[in-house]
């Protein structure tokens, strides 16, 4: 049954009063539960306290300027942080949160130095794609060292599960998902299909060049994002 | 073509208004003082023009060419000088009754005015306010997007969007429901609330013939029939001695809406919700009625208009905030407000509905039928606010605004029961009425806001906690309140 050691241990930590301890599992105990009766009966004190908290938040959020949205609301003189309210809402179209570096956005096809696509139509990505949403029809590239290139390269963004396996699978660093853009809402399904042309238009040169390091695409990428929180 | 149509329409409306207005007013008949065989004694009396009580009853003061006044009458109560289309007023003038007045004084007109000018706007704005306010309390923004073109109004227009959405939703009736009761339930939920508004005095009595003048309350007390106070419009639809009892009786019917909705839906969860609604009603209704008994003992009337106009003590002006019942019945206020929140079936007493998970009696309702339940709830909020404002917070009284203007530190005349003296600024009657109506709206809005604060602060009570609260706390306290009030009244007042 209960050992004196357990009792001493509990009183030291001012835990609940232990009435009995199980023989087989010392951690299984019967304790005495004390409910604060005085608070339970009228609720008035607790109500007043809670009301104070909510009122404080309400007043602060109602009267102080927004913390976020540097666009309209806080234009003009900058407001000190302690005079801002607590509202955490991101007002989406006007303001966007910074995505993490490895956020998987819309696909792009990277370019060679001469502007042609790096893709060699090796069919690794359509093979690995769990959603079967990549359609590639290869053609002769004319360059014997490259052999093939995609005549048609389509990704159905409605079926894509954004797993990123295509990027992993590509041996040529030809497909990437680092654009930081969402798949856009569309009004008919056909427009959700990314074609070779749209993905090439989004693509800039790869970091990797043939035979070595190349320029950082982020440094050279056209600034397509309106990121107010940067 | 279009312009001409507009001109014709405006002209037609203008002539209608003018025509209606012309129906009322004075009819000129010869004076009784001239050409009579036996000239009444009063005809020889001198009086001060513009001060009506300087002549005997049945006579008014007619201004002479030299600026002095002479008592005169065009008719008397028992002759037929006015003809069939007019009646003889208390000051001896032939007065035609105005159709405009008839229309304005009709309870239905007042009801439409109250509903359209105060209740519906407030209830619709509450649907937005609740979401915006709860968001603010939880560090969110809430709905702020709905707009008509560039008009955004911080999202107030969301209620328009909601209404349009609900109207155009499919009116789906599930199989096996009791069709008649299913259709009746939302109406039963919303109609009693509208009816209960009949007892609420939402403004003072308007004296249309005195709107531009400063009212003389002493004159009103002494000569309530004077021509100046003719055609008075009392801003209360239903003035009965059992006003607050009427409210309990009618609003309890709204509960049948919930119970019947649950029963008619052919759904176990809905039925359980309806039963929870009835059991909850049992536990607060008794305490609610008793909590107002203290107020009844202090005031001596259950007529809301009387409560507002007289206040707790006869030795203070009714517009003095210290004379309002919150000071005389603080426990009654807390008890009644608690029970009234339970009546609106919202958190912390939303056991019948349990919006986030268990839903409740309207689980099978959709579209506008569900919208009616929802609207009824919001109108109940407004109603509870209106009752609390009327009974405990002076109703339409503006602090220190008497019928004739602002007065601080006056005293109440023993005979006329009118407060006089003190620091005093006169105001025209029309402005006083507008201020008092505005004050009522402001008080109601503030109390609505307070109810929303409570709703978003407290979590839901368990059913047993509600029963404990209702039967073991509210009821004994309400009884004690009645006892103590009665004893104080008996020995000290
Ligand atoms: S991200 Fe995944 S699902 Fe989308 S195209 Fe690439 S492999 Fe297919
Ligand atoms: S994108 Fe890469 S993996 Fe896909 S076909 Fe082209 S080279 Fe192969």
Average pLDDT, chain B: 85
- Across the interface, of A42, A57, A89, the residue whose CB is closest to B473 is A42
Instruction: Kindly state the tokens that stand for B387.
Output: 């009752």
- Check if A145 contacts B (Cβ < 8 Å): no
Query: What is the residue range of A161's domain?
Result: 108-201
Q: Comparing C-alpha atoms, which of B85, B65, B63 is closest to residue B75?
A: B85
Picking from A45, A47, A55, A61 by the largest number of B CB atoms within 10 A of its own CB, the best residue to mutate is: A61
Model confidence pTM above 0.80: no
CA distance B476 to B312: 24
CA of A177 to the centre of ligand 1 (A): 9
pLDDT bracket for residue B79 (50, 70, 90): confident
When mean pLDDT is compared over A29-38, B44-53, B82-91, B124-133, the highest value belongs to B124-133
Q: Comparing C-alpha atoms, which of B399, B421, B403 is closest to residue B412?
A: B421
A 11-50 → B contacts, CB under 8 A: 41-43, 47, 50
- Ligand 2 pocket, CB under 6 A: A 119-125, 136, 169-170, 172, 174-175
- Across the interface, of A50, A62, A91, the residue whose CB is closest to B458 is A50
Helices (H), B72-178: 99-105, 107-114, 120-137, 158-168
- Across the interface, of B137, B141, B469, the residue whose CB is closest to A54 is B137
pLDDT digits (tens, 9 = 90+) for A92-112: 777 777 788 888 989 999 888
- How many domains would you assign to chain A? 2
Chain A residues inside the 8 Å CB shell of B342:
none
Chain B residues inside the 8 Å CB shell of A62:
136
Q: Comparing C-alpha atoms, which of B80, B107, B75 is closest to residue B92?
A: B75
What is the least distance, in Å, from the CA of B132 to any CA of chain A? Answer: 10
Cβ count within 10 A of residue B71:
23
Asked if A87 lies within 8 A of B140 by C-beta distance, the reply is: yes
CA distance B83 to A106: 91
CA distance B377 to B356: 16
Contacts of B15 (CB under 8 A, 6+ apart): none
Asked, for residue A206, whether it belongs to a domain, the answer is: no
The answer to whether A146 touches A113, Cβ cutoff 8 Å, is no
CA distance B375 to B372: 5
Structural Rg of chain A based on CA atoms: 30
CA of A163 to the centre of ligand 2 (A): 16
Cα distances from B456 to residues A50, B141, B387, in angstroms, run 10, 15, 22
CA distance A130 to B449: 53
Asked, for residue A137, whether it belongs to a domain, the answer is: yes
- Residue B44 gets the label, from left (phi > 0), alpha (psi -120 to 50) or beta, of alpha
Closest CA to ligand 2's atom 5: A121
Instruction: Kindly state the tokens that stand for B128.
Output: 């937005």
What is the least distance, in Å, from the CA of A1 to any CA of chain B? Answer: 37
Asked if A47 lies within 8 A of B457 by C-beta distance, the reply is: yes
pLDDT above 50: residue A16: yes
What does the pLDDT average to over B344-355? 85
DSSP assignment of A136-169: EEEEE-S-TTT-EEEEEEEEETTT-----HHHHH
The number of C-beta contacts closer than 8 angstroms across A and B is 41
Structural Rg of chain B based on CA atoms: 27
Position B358 scores a pLDDT of 73
CA of A125 to the centre of ligand 1 (A): 8
Torsion A119-A124-A130-A132 (CA) sign: positive
When mean pLDDT is compared over A35-44, A129-138, A189-198, the highest value belongs to A129-138
Chain A residues inside the 8 Å CB shell of B138:
57
CA of A93 to the centre of ligand 1 (A): 26
Position B478 scores a pLDDT of 95
**Range of lowest pLDDT (A10-19, A140-149, A160-169):** A10-19
Ligand nearest A154 Cα, by number? 1
Position A222 scores a pLDDT of 52
pLDDT above 90: residue B182: yes
What does the pLDDT average to over A182-210? 82
CA of B309 to the centre of ligand 1 (A): 75
| The residue to which tokens 């339940």 are assigned | B373
- Residues B236, B238, B239, B243, Cα dihedral to 10°: -110
The answer to whether B350 touches B362, Cβ cutoff 8 Å, is no
Which atom of ligand 1 is closest in space to residue A164's alpha carbon?
1
pLDDT above 80: residue B476: yes
Asked, for residue A119, whether it belongs to a domain, the answer is: yes
Chain B residues inside the 8 Å CB shell of A51:
453-454, 457
What is the least distance, in Å, from the CA of A78 to any CA of chain B? Answer: 21
- Across the interface, of A41, A53, A58, the residue whose CB is closest to B133 is A58
Give the residue, out of A172, A177, A200, with the most ligand 2 atoms within 8 A of its beta carbon, to mutate for a pocket test.
A172
- Ligand 1 pocket, CB under 6 A: A 128-131, 133-134, 155, 160-166
Give percent of chain B above pLDDT 70. 92
Asked if B139 lies within 8 A of A61 by C-beta distance, the reply is: yes
Query: Do you find a cis peptide bond into B88, omega within 30 degrees of 0?
Result: no
Cβ count within 10 A of residue B430:
16
Asked, for residue A98, whether it belongs to a domain, the answer is: no
pLDDT digits (tens, 9 = 90+) for B3-58: 566 655 665 555 555 444 444 566 667 777 776 666 677 777 777 766 655 677 77
Asked, for residue A210, whether it belongs to a domain, the answer is: no
Asked if A54 lies within 8 A of B140 by C-beta distance, the reply is: no
CATH label of the domain that carries residue A178: 3.30.70.3270
- Give yes or no: residues A112 and A197 share one domain: yes
Asked, for residue A84, whether it belongs to a domain, the answer is: no
Which chain A residue has its CA at the smallest distance from B137's CA? A58
When mean pLDDT is compared over A216-230, B200-214, B235-249, B379-393, the highest value belongs to B379-393
Asked if A54 lies within 8 A of B133 by C-beta distance, the reply is: no
What does the pLDDT average to over A150-156? 94
What does the pLDDT average to over B172-200? 92
More confident residue, B312 or A42: B312
Asked if A57 lies within 8 A of B139 by C-beta distance, the reply is: yes
CA distance B281 to B254: 10
What is the least distance, in Å, from the CA of A180 to any CA of chain B? Answer: 26
**Range of lowest pLDDT (A72-81, B187-196, B445-454):** A72-81
Picking from A54, A56, A86 by the largest number of B CB atoms within 10 A of its own CB, the best residue to mutate is: A54
A 54-113 → B contacts, CB under 8 A: 54-55, 57-58, 61-62, 85-89, 91
Asked, for residue A221, whether it belongs to a domain, the answer is: no
pLDDT above 70: residue B136: yes
Q: Report the relative pairing of strands B401-402 and B405-408 from DSSP bridges.
A: antiparallel
In sequence order, the β-bridge partners of residue A213 are A208
The answer to whether B70 touches B61, Cβ cutoff 8 Å, is yes
When mean pLDDT is compared over A16-25, A58-67, B13-22, B319-328, the highest value belongs to B319-328
What does the pLDDT average to over B209-232? 81
Position B60 scores a pLDDT of 77
- Across the interface, of A42, A43, A55, the residue whose CB is closest to B453 is A55
pLDDT digits (tens, 9 = 90+) for B424-448: 888 999 999 999 999 999 999 999 9
Picking from B131, B133, B139 by the largest number of A CB atoms within 10 A of its own CB, the best residue to mutate is: B139
pLDDT above 50: residue A5: no
Chain A residues inside the 8 Å CB shell of B139:
57, 61, 85-88
Exposed, middle or buried, B396 (CB in 10 Å: 0-12/13-18/19+)?
A: buried
């Amino acid at each position: 049954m209960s050992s004196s050691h357990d009792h001493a241990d509990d009183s030291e930590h001012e835990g609940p009063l232990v009435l009995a301890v199980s023989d087989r599992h010392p951690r299984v105990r019967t304790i005495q539960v004390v409910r604060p009766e005085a608070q339970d009966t009228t609720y008035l004190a607790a109500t007043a306290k809670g009301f104070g908290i909510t009122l404080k938040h309400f007043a602060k959020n109602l009267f102080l300027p927004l913390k976020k949205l540097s666009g309209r609301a806080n234009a003009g003189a900058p407001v000190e942080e302690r005079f801002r309210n607590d509202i955490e809402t991101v007002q989406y179209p006007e303001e966007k949160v910074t995505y993490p570096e490895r956020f998987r956005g819309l696909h792009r096809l990277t370019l060679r130095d001469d502007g042609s696509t790096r893709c060699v139509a090796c069919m690794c990505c359509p093979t690995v794609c769990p959603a079967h949403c990549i359609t590639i029809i290869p053609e002769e590239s004319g360059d014997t060292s490259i052999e093939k290139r995609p005549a048609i390269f389509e990704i159905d963004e409605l079926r894509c599960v954004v797993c990123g396996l295509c990027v992993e699978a590509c041996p040529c660093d030809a497909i990437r998902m680092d654009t930081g853009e969402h798949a856009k809402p569309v009004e008919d399904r056909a427009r959700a299909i990314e074609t070779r042309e749209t993905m090439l238009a989004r693509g800039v040169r790869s970091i990797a060049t043939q035979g070595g390091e190349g320029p950082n695409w982020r440094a050279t990428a056209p600034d397509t994002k309106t990121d107010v929180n940067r | 073509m279009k312009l001409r149509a507009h001109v014709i329409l405006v002209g037609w409306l203008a002539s209608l208004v003018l025509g209606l207005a012309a129906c009322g007013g004075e009819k000129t008949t010869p004076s009784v003082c001239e050409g009579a065989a036996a000239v009444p004694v009063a005809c020889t009396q001198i009086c001060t023009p513009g001060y009506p009580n300087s002549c005997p009853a049945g006579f008014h003061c007619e201004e002479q060419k030299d600026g002095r006044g002479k008592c005169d009458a065009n008719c008397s109560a028992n002759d037929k000088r006015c003809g069939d289309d007019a009646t003889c007023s208390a000051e001896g003038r032939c007065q035609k009754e105005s159709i405009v007045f008839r229309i304005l004084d009709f309870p239905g007109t007042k009801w439409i005015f109250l509903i359209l000018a105060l209740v519906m706007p407030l209830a619709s704005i509450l649907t937005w306010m609740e979401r915006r306010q709860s968001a603010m309390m939880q560090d969110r923004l809430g709905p702020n997007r709905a707009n008509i073109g560039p008009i955004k109004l911080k999202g107030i227009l969301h209620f328009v969007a909601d209404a349009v959405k609900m109207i155009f939703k499919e009116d789906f009736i599930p199989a096996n429901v009791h069709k008649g009761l299913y259709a009746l339930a939302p109406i039963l939920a919303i109609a009693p609330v509208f009816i209960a508004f009949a007892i609420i005095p939402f403004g003072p009595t308007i004296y249309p013939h005195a709107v531009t003048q400063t009212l003389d309350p002493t004159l009103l007390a002494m000569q309530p029939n004077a021509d100046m106070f003719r055609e008075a419009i009392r801003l209360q639809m239903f003035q009965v001695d059992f006003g607050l009892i009427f409210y309990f009786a009618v609003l309890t019917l709204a509960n049948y809406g919930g119970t019947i909705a649950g029963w008619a839906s052919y759904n176990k969860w809905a039925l359980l919700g309806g039963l929870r609604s009835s059991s909850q009603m049992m536990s607060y209704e008794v305490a609610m009625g008793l909590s107002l008994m203290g107020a009844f003992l202090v005031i001596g009337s259950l007529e809301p208009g009387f409560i507002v106009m007289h206040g707790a003590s006869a030795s203070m002006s009714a517009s003095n905030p210290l004379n309002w019942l919150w000071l005389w019945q603080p426990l009654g206020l807390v008890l009644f407000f608690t029970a009234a929140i339970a009546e609106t079936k919202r958190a912390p007493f939303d056991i019948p509905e349990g919006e986030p998970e268990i839903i409740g009696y309207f689980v099978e309702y959709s579209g506008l039928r569900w919208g009616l339940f929802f609207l009824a709830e919001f109108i109940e909020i407004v109603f509870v606010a209106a009752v609390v404002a009327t009974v405990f917070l002076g109703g339409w009284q503006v602090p220190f605004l008497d019928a004739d203007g602002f007065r601080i530190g006056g005293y109440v005349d023993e005979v006329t029961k009118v407060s006089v003296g003190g620091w005093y600024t006169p105001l025209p009657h029309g402005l006083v009425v507008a201020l008092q109506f505005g004050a009522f709206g402001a008080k109601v809005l503030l109390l609505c806001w307070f109810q929303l604060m409570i709703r978003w602060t407290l979590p839901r009570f368990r059913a047993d906690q509600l029963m404990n609260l209702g039967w073991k706390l509210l009821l004994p306290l309400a009884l004690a309140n009645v006892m103590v009030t009665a004893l104080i009244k008996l020995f000290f007042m």
